[in-house]
Amino acid sequence: MSAIEIWEFRSTSGHVAGSDLVGFHVEATDGSIGKVDKHSEEVGAAYFVVDTGPWIFGKHVLLPAGIVIQVDPAAKRVYVDRTRDEIKNGPEFDPKTHDTDTEYKERYGSYYAPFYGGPAI
């Protein structure tokens, strides 16, 4: 299996560049994790932020775009190939500092890249 670029949407995901994912429900392999609160399509740094609601006490989690396996615009759902626990155990997201944080890619890359055959960044 070749490594997946975690900071880009997979070409097979069905994501159309420029489409708005805010409000879409996010489904892990073992259940719902919340709704997309924000997303970025910046080249080489695409991600989305999920408001987890009551699942993990109203926290937000950042997910690299490469974990998306399918976007279903009709159902307003985004499917990812990680479990709820894998997502919950990822690096903590701080919405207050994210926009000024230049090291978030390194933290998230170190956690998610090994799942996809890439080195811990």
Q: Is residue 120 part of a domain?
A: no
Q: Is residue 7 part of a domain?
A: no
CATH code for position 32 = 2.30.30
The answer to whether position 107 is within a domain reads yes
Q: Can you give the pLDDT at residue 111?
A: 93
Predicted confidence band of residue 70 (pLDDT cuts 50, 70, 90): very high
Cα separation, 98 vs 100, in Å, equals 5
Domain that holds residue 65: 25-113
Label residue 47 by pLDDT band (50, 70, 90).
very high
Residue 12 lies in a domain: no
Does residue 66 form part of some domain?
yes
pLDDT (0 to 100) of residue 1: 41
4 in any annotated domain: no
Q: Is residue 102 part of a domain?
A: yes
Give 68's pLDDT tier (boundaries 50, 70, 90): very high
Q: What is the average per-residue pLDDT within 25-54? A: 92
Read off the pTM.
Answer: 0.89
- Number of structural domains found in the chain: 1
